[in-house]
Amino acid sequence: MTVVHSNLENVEAKMSARDVSVFYGDKKAIDEVSIDIPTEYVTAFIGPSGCGKSTFLRTLNRMNDTIPSARVEGAIELDGQDIYRSGMDVVQLRARVGMVFQKPNPFPKSIYENIAYGPKIHGLAEGKDELDAIVEKSLKRAGLWEEVKDRLQDSGTALSGGQQQRLCIARAIAVDPEVILMDEPCSALDPIATAKIEELIAELNGRYAIVIVTHSMQQAARVSQRTAFFHLGKMVEYGRTSDIFTNPLEQRTQDYITGRYG
Amino acid sequence: MTERIAPTRTPAFEARLKKRYAAERRFRALGLGAILFSVAVLVFLLGTMVLNGIGGFQRVELEIPIDLSEAGIAADPAAMQQTGAVQALEAQGLRDVVQFYAQQELGEEAASELGGQAWRDVAAAIIADPSILHEKATFSLPASADLASGYEGEGSPEMQALAQRLYAEGRIAKNFDPGFLSRSDATNPQQVGIWGALKGSMLTMLVTLLLAFPIGVLAALYLEEYAPKNRWTDMIELSINNLAAVPSIIFGLLGLAVFLTLFPNLRSAPVIGGMTLALMTMPVIVIAGRNAIKAVPPSIRDGALAVGASPVQVVFHHVLPLALPGILTGTIIGMARALGETAPLLMIGMRAFVATPPDGFTSPATVLPMQIFLWSDEIDRGFVERTSAAIIVLLLFLLVMNGLAIYLRNKFEKTW
């Protein structure tokens, strides 16, 4: 099964998955994955296309619930509580575990409204001033404030691709989540925009537990401290990023990171 | 060494290229032809309607000077503002006064061809301005239907001769008739108006919209966003698609069998007409609505769910606003069809002769297409022009309704 490196420090786990399997109808997309997501680090999921890393990511805030045929077995805990237990509030879960998608998907509303939407529906702000403050703080954290502060009422969809993705990150930050899931956040962006997002991830590291799915091994090496390698629905190997890339224990990991398939 | 000729530079290739361009030119010419043909048909249709219909907004009137100061009719200005003022004037013999001056000015023969309801126009003038009771004024009063056709060069020779004599004396003229827009149906084409049918159409459309739009939109939202995809929802979808294709008269029978059985007192009422037409319009809105909702990118739903919006918030904050332009397009199509419907309303009694405009949703009424149908059936020649005029009113109503919907659609239209 999964090879977990033995030299991992014993750090606090924000989320932990135990023997999680995901089915689409009869097809098993994820096979008994167990992993701890540390609070203080960026965790990267790497692996070839179709290996299930995005599917697994989406189980962490129950976004798979929207797919009627999807079924999850096993347990995923957030701060020690199973998020699939009956009585778990999905709305609250998603406010605590935010998500950024592969393709930037700002709402077709103003930049301001994009950020303010989450705090508004959760009632996080008392009055306009407080909401303004949340919008400003979120945009600043996402490194977008200087670029958009004079045109907050412009449409969010009029921004460039990289700005849109940072807007989506700001939108996720605005509800003050504990975990941020990023599903290949740079795959639709050019290298300069990618570099900005990676800088941003480095800055957010420590404040939020971050899980990033990526196709780019270089990106995983640059931004993460923990890496999990997925292949054919199984988690093959999990360890410190530096160890996975320089000293993998499994042959399949070795083959993937040296570019023999992917 | 032989020179290599690229395959894209051979004569055969160039010949094929020419054929490809020719095909494109043919296609464009055909498309343009189709557009021009449609425009020509439209211009012909509208042109004919307008040319015929202009006469419908006019009527033949006799010029009669009446000295009301000598008629001895008293009118208290305060009483004139109350209902029953017309009856009060009638009781004082206004009808005879008008007839007397007509005989005096035009002669016996012409006076008998004054429209039977002509005195009501005088009464209306007095009510509008009681001070004319102290003056001598010239009134333009409607001629009888027979004299009107004589004026048009039709009808009996005596009437034509009479019309010619009055014309020579300057006593008869065809004038713009603003009353056409404020009166209701009558047996005399000189006295008819469109207001009753127009108001009936407005009330009926309002009921249709208020029922079909919310029910249709909610049904579309539920089917797209909430309903599980199984055999039952497939059956419902199939039924809705079939419902949209059912001939309209069958909806009329349904209205007759169901609504009029439940509410037998509401025969001919706009509320029943609106309910019947709503049955017909709803499937159109559901189908258009579902397509519009399907076209909303799933990434928008994901984005909203990921910040913790509940499914209802996703639907009402994001999906519905983005789908609204498409839903409104479907609503325009459905409402335009409902506005032009006659067949289902025949079944529920909206073809009755209704001489007063409906006061509400439950009083007897008719609608514009039904009024057109009824007038086109009349023998009297005067109705031909009135029918065209009614068609113009119907088309204008349609234009206003669609214009409003298109304005709303453009207002909500957004790019993503």
Binding-site residues on chain B for chain A (CB distance < 8 A):
228-229, 297, 299-310, 313, 317-318, 322, 414-416
CB B102 within 8 A of CB B64: yes
Nearest CA in chain A to B228: A68
Nearest-angstrom CA–CA distance, B63 and B10: 86
Q: Cβ(B366)–Cβ(B203) under 8 Å?
A: no
Chains A, B: CB contacts within 8 A come to 69
Chain A residues touching chain B at CB-CB below 8 Å: 61, 63, 66, 68, 91-92, 94-95, 98-101, 103, 105-108, 117-118, 121-122, 155, 157, 168, 171-172, 174-175
Q: Is the CB of B304 less than 8 angstroms away from the CB of A171?
A: no
Distance from the Cα of residue A60 to its chain's centroid: 9
Closest Cβ opposite residue B307 in set A117, A155, A157: A117
Taking contacts as CB-CB distances below 8 angstroms, the residues of chain B near A99 are 302, 306
Residue of A nearest to B416 (CA): A108
Q: Are A233 and A51 in contact (CB under 8 A)?
A: yes
Mean pLDDT of the B191-207 span = 93
Task: Assess whether pLDDT exceeds 90 at residue B172.
Answer: no
Kind plus residue range of the DSSP H or E element containing B111: helix B108-111
> CA B186, CA B181: separation in Å to the nearest integer?
13
| B110-165 per-position pLDDT tens digit | 888 887 778 888 888 888 887 777 878 888 888 888 888 888 888 788 888 888 88
Residues of chain A neighbouring B313 (CB-CB closer than 8 A): 121
The position carrying tokens 């398939």 is: A261
Contact of B301 with B319, CB cutoff 8 Å? yes
Give dist(CA A239, CA A227) in Å, integer.
6
Residues whose CB is less than 8 angstroms from the CB of residue B94 and which lie 6 or more positions away in sequence, other chains included: B71, B73, B119, B122, B123, B126
CB contacts, 8 Å: A66 with chain B: 301-302, 305
Tell me the CA distances in angstroms from A12 to A9, A79, A80, A209, A220, one per residue in order: 9, 10, 11, 11, 21
| Residues in chain A closer than 8 A to B306 (CB atoms) | 61, 63, 94, 98-101, 172
> Among partner residues B228, B307, B318, which is closest to A171 by beta-carbon distance?
B307
B362-376 pLDDT, tens digit each: 998 999 999 999 999
Chain A CB contacts of B228 under 8 Å are 68
**What is the C-alpha separation between B364 and B370, in angstroms, rounded?**
13
Question: If you ran DSSP here, which 8-state letter would residue B315 be given?
Answer: I
Nearest-Å Rg of the Cα atoms of chain A is 18
The rounded mean pLDDT for chain B is 88
What's the confidence (pLDDT) of residue A262? 58
Let me know if A259 is exposed, middle or buried by CB neighbors in 10 A (0-12, 13-18, 19+).
Answer: exposed
Nearest CA among A218, A215, A154, A133 for reference residue A182: A215
Which residues of chain A have a CB within 8 Å of the CB of B301?
A: 66
**pLDDT at residue B79 tops 90:** no
Are the Cβ atoms of A101 and B416 closer than 8 angstroms?
A: no
Distance from C-alpha of A128 to C-alpha of A131, rounded to nearest angstrom: 5
**Sign of torsion, CA B167 B170 B176 B182?**
negative
Q: What is the DSSP string of B115-164?
A: -TTHHHHHHHHHHH-GGGGGSEEEEEEEBPHHHHHHHTT-S-HHHHHHHH
Residues of chain B with C-beta less than 8 angstroms from the C-beta of A107: 300, 303-304, 318
Q: List the structure tokens of B318.
A: 């994001």
Tell me how far apart the alpha carbons of residues B73 and B59 are, in angstroms, rounded to a whole number: 28
Q: What is the mean pLDDT of each run of 10 residues along chain A (262 residues)?
A: 82 91 92 92 92 92 88 92 90 94 93 94 90 94 91 92 93 93 91 90 91 92 94 92 92 89 64
| Contact call for B414 and A108, based on CB within 8 A | yes
Residue in chain B closest to A170 (alpha carbons) equals B307
Report whether B37 contacts B160 (CB < 8 A): no
Tell me which chain A residues have a C-beta less than 8 angstroms from the C-beta of B299.
101, 103, 105
Contacts of B225 in chain A (CB under 8 A): none
Reported ipTM: the value is 0.90
Which three-class secondary structure state does DSSP give residue B363? coil
- The β-bridge partners of A76 are A17
Partner-chain contact A66 B302, CB within 8 Å: yes
Answer yes or no: is pLDDT of B74 > 80.
no
Asked if residue B416 has pLDDT above 70, the reply is: no
Mutate to test the interface with B, among A78, A94, A122 (most CBs of B within 10 A): A94
Overall size of chain A counted in residues: 262
Query: Integer distance in angstroms from the first to the last C-alpha of chain A?
Result: 20
Chain A interface, best mutation among B229, B230, B301, B307, by max A CB count within 10 A:
B307
DSSP β-bridge partners for residue B64: B139
Could you report the per-residue pLDDT of B206-246, keeping only the tens digit for each?
A: 999 999 999 999 999 999 998 888 899 999 999 999 998 89
Predicted local confidence at residue B2, as pLDDT: 65
User: Could you tell me how far CA B200 lies from the centroid of its own chain?
Assistant: 9
| Cβ proximity of B320 and B221 under 8 Å | yes
How far from the centroid of its chain's Cα atoms is residue A148's Cα? 24
- Choose from A117, A124, A135, A176 for mutation: most chain B CBs within 10 A: A117
Which domains are delineated in chain B?
Answer: 58-176 (no CATH), 195-412 (1.10.3720.10)
Closest Cβ opposite residue A98 in set B307, B317, B318: B307
In three-state form (DSSP H/G/I as H, E/B as E, the rest C), the secondary structure along chain A is: CCEECCCCCCCCEEEEEEEEEEEECCEEEEEEEEEEEECCCEEEEECCCCCCHHHHHHHCCCHHHHCCCEEEEEEEEECCEECCCCCCCHHHHHHHEEEECCCCCCCCCEHHHHHHHHHHHHCCCCHHHHHHHHHHHHHHHCCCHHHHCCCCCCEHHHCCHHHHHHHHHHHHHHCCCCEEEEECCCCCCCHHHHHHHHHHHHHHECCEEEEEECCCHHHHHHHCCEEEEEECCEEEEEEEHHHHHHCCCCHHHHHHHCCCCC
Task: Inspect the interface and report whether the beta carbons of B306 and A172 lie closer than 8 Å.
Answer: yes
SS3 B59: strand
- CATH 3.40.50.300 for domain A3-107+176-257, yes or no, is yes
Is the pLDDT confidence value at B69 over 90? no
pTM for the model stands at: 0.83
Token digits of residue B275: 């309910």
Residue type present at position A12: E
Task: Give the whole-angstrom CA distance, residue A171 versus residue A83.
Answer: 23
CB contact under 8 A, B300 and A121: no
DSSP code for B366 = -
Taking contacts as CB-CB distances below 8 angstroms, the residues of chain B near A91 are 308-310
For residue A15, give the nearest of A36, A32, A29 by alpha carbon.
A36
Instruction: Please judge whether A107 and B304 are an interchain contact, meaning their C-beta atoms are less than 8 angstroms apart.
Output: yes
Look up tokens 């009585």; give the residue.
A87
Cβ-Cβ contacts under 8 Å, A155 against chain B:
414-415
Q: Which one-letter amino acid corresponds to residue B96?
A: D
Are A104 and A164 a contacting pair, CB within 8 Å? Answer: yes
Kindly give, in sequence order, each residue whose CB lies less than 8 Å from that of residue B102, ignoring residues fewer than 6 positions away: B62, B64, B110, B111, B114, B141
Mean pLDDT of B86-107: 82
Element (H, E) at B236: helix B231-244
Q: φ and ψ at A80, to 5 degrees?
A: 85, 0
Encode pLDDT of B275-333 as tens digits: 999 999 999 999 999 999 999 999 999 999 999 999 999 999 999 999 999 999 899 98
Across the interface, of A66, A101, A121, the residue whose CB is closest to B303 is: A101
Cβ contact (<8 Å) for A66 and B305? yes
Candidates A63, A91, A174; nearest CB to B310: A91
Return the half-sphere exposure (C-beta side, CA atoms, 13 A cut-off) of residue B347.
Answer: 22
- From CA A20, how far away is CA A74, in angstroms rounded? 4
DSSP code for B114:
B
